[in-house]
Structure 1
Amino acid sequence: MRITTPFDATSTAAEVVRGIDLSGKRIVVTGGASGIGVETARALAGAGAEVVLAVRDVAAGARVAADITRTTGNGRVTVRPLDLADLASVRAFVAAWAGPLHVLVNNAGVMACPEQRTRDGWELQLATNHLGHFALADGLRRALAAAGGARVVSVSSCAHVRSPVVFDDLHFERRPYEPWSAYGQSKTANVLFAVEVTARWRDDGITSNALMPGGIATNLQRHLGGATYMAQAAERFRKAGRSLKTPEQGAATSVLLATSPLLECVGGRYFEDCNEALPHDGTSTVDGVAAWALDREAAGRLWTLSERAIGAR
């Protein structure tokens, strides 16, 4: 049965978490120093959670943490370094973690950037958006299991309809690099990850869902022309009967998946505008979930390849 909620595209993160007490809960938000990550962390802290901003730029993270504390009155907002494109950084973050983890919000990402490779030779978008988050979640599995009923939230995108995971050439070694195809593949990987986490880790009480936050003007568009790109995006959304969102609205679906009692024990699904998405109809580029993103066989295959890539035990 499709999951629906009282919220929609206009709802804000603060609205979806209103009335929910997160006191005693520990939450990690990757990329929490910019864009919708800031408003995701602010809403969670406002509800009483202990929030860790896992960020590359620790100074920027410290400024955001101080602002969140000022606006929410919650002094339990801290910053830890994390570079998802660097496995050593991910492993250091995991090694430093102690105690349970109730929610992991895999929010950080890069979009449609020029071709780049990590020190492991991975294409940067797949490395950052999927493999780094995969390694982080894998490393924190015991902490998530210890929390009881933990949730992993994966921020995907409507761009997942641009490409399935191309298993015979994940890193564009034999095909010409195309920024949007690479981004689309990485966003499909985010959904497949949520599908497989729920299947594999359910006995540990861990579930995962993925989401499309909406069209929001943030630093994510820096490789695409910024304001010019967003004007074009606004037109695409308008044709689909939608509007661009504020960062507070863009964070709403992430916060919903992280906290709502309506999502208790629910996993392996893809949400947009605070409701489970309908199947992609093959025409729109801004809504719906592609069948390839929910394919269990593909999810299992990606999991195996990801384990091999990060050297998981």
Structure 2
Amino acid sequence: MTKWTANDLPDLTGRTVVITGAGRGLGLITARELARAGAHVVMGVRDTGKAQRAVTGVPGTFDIRPLDVADLTSVRAFAGSWSGDLHILINNAGVMDIPAERTADGLDLQTTTNHTGPFVLTNLLLEHITDRVVHATSQLHRQGKIDLSDLDWRTRKYDGMRAYEASKLAGVLFSLELQRRLSASGSRVRSVLASPGIARTALAAHSRSNFINRFTFLTNDPERGALSVLYAATQDVPGNSYVGPDGFGGLRGYPAVRRQGKAGLDPVMAARVWEATADLAGAPAR
């Protein structure tokens, strides 16, 4: 069978795409490829100068704006300044297995970056979105366990990898509940999940796991890892589809519609995570 690649992207002329964390890694590759296909790409990044240098000389139209999804003030400012249609929102920014740290809002940095910030951003931009929201996720959501009484790691002993897995499961459940709400309202907007498999990027730079270095034959290079996001953003897939590599264990390969873990398909938990996240996003700094 022919494998889907970035060369199969449709003409995206006239379409506007926001990509968070687009200054490097998979986000930068995604931005570059979508712009090459004709999209107007808005790069939401923490370091605008670095992002500008990264796309200097790259064909396409880029709009670089400050956005730190771990800072809810930054998220609200970005969303508040938006006007006009937004065809595709790609929640790409993420961190993995980092040490415990609190944000300016008093929230867990890892949970906020991977879940709470994207949750707030999506909801604030939703009235402008006309096509879909793409959530970058991870196969490790399958190992995630969520404690609704302590979603933000305030009372439990913090564990970086467990926090990462939980944040990714929360994101998968967010997609499920978002799609339910969109469908119930009669909206044609889709919520779609995309896993790059295990891509050799800087995401795991802080991780204690040495998996990527020891088992490179089971991993994707960054260019191929970005294909799942590109596919999820542009192909005609059903709402709440899970796009991931077609190879062994969903770890590497070319994009295909797969299936998220069983825990990510629980509608009751999805609704509860939504409410818990909404409460958390309004929590005062401490």
For 2:31, the equivalent position in structure 1 comes to 41
2:137 is aligned, of 145, 149, 156, to 156
For 2:233, the equivalent position in structure 1 comes to 258
**1:95-106 to 2 correspondences below 5 Å:** 95-106=80-91
Alpha-carbon distance in 2 for matches of 1:120, 1:232:
37
Deviates more, 1:164-173 or 1:86-95: 164-173
**Aligned Cα root-mean-square deviation (Å):** 1.9
For 1:201, the equivalent position in structure 2 comes to 182
Structure 1: runs of 5+ lacking an equivalent = 279-288
Alpha-carbon distance in 2 for matches of 1:233, 1:126:
27
TM-score by length of structure 2 reads 0.89
Aligned-partner residue type, residue 109 of structure 2: L
Q: Give the superposition deviation at 1:15.
A: 3.0
Deviations 1:87-130 (A, max 9, x none): 11001101111100000000000100001112332211111111
Matched, 1:271 2:230: no
Aligned-partner residue type, residue 81 of structure 1: P
For 2:7, the equivalent position in structure 1 comes to 15
Q: Give the superposition deviation at 1:6.
A: 5.5
Q: Give the superposition deviation at 1:229.
A: 4.8
With over 3 angstroms needed to count, the CA separation of the structure-2 counterparts of 1:16 and 1:294, relative to structure 1, is: farther
Matched, 1:109 2:94: yes
Aligned-partner residue type, residue 7 of structure 2: E
Alpha-carbon distance in 2 for matches of 1:229, 1:59:
32
TM-score by length of structure 1 reads 0.82
Q: Which runs of 4+ in 1 moved over 6 A?
A: none
Deviations 1:201-238 (A, max 9, x none): 23232111112102122121221269x5521353xxx5
2:206 is aligned, of 223, 226, 239, to 223
Alpha-carbon distance in 2 for matches of 1:15, 1:251:
13
Does the Cα contact within 8 Å between 1:16 and 1:252 map onto a contact in 2?
no
For 2:197, the equivalent position in structure 1 comes to 214
For 2:162, the equivalent position in structure 1 comes to 181
Identity of aligned residues (%): 37
Does the Cα contact within 8 Å between 1:197 and 1:206 map onto a contact in 2?
no
Local SS of the residue matching 1:113:
coil
Matched, 1:297 2:268: yes
Aligned-partner residue type, residue 143 of structure 1: H
Aligned residues: 272
For 2:251, the equivalent position in structure 1 comes to none
With over 3 angstroms needed to count, the CA separation of the structure-2 counterparts of 1:42 and 1:169, relative to structure 1, is: same
**1:37-186 to 2 correspondences below 5 Å:** 37-66=27-56, 70-72=57-59, 74=60, 76-144=61-129, 147=130, 150-186=131-167
Alpha-carbon distance in 2 for matches of 1:306, 1:218:
28
Deviations 1:37-86 (A, max 9, x none): 111111111110000110011111111232xxx343x2x21100001111
Aligned-partner residue type, residue 117 of structure 1: R
With over 3 angstroms needed to count, the CA separation of the structure-2 counterparts of 1:294 and 1:15, relative to structure 1, is: farther
Matched, 1:32 2:32: no
With over 3 angstroms needed to count, the CA separation of the structure-2 counterparts of 1:26 and 1:198, relative to structure 1, is: same
Alpha-carbon distance in 2 for matches of 1:43, 1:161:
29
Aligned-partner residue type, residue 38 of structure 1: L
Does the Cα contact within 8 Å between 2:16 and 2:41 map onto a contact in 1?
yes
Structure 2: runs of 5+ lacking an equivalent = 246-254
For 1:281, the equivalent position in structure 2 comes to none
Q: Give the superposition deviation at 1:246.
A: 1.6
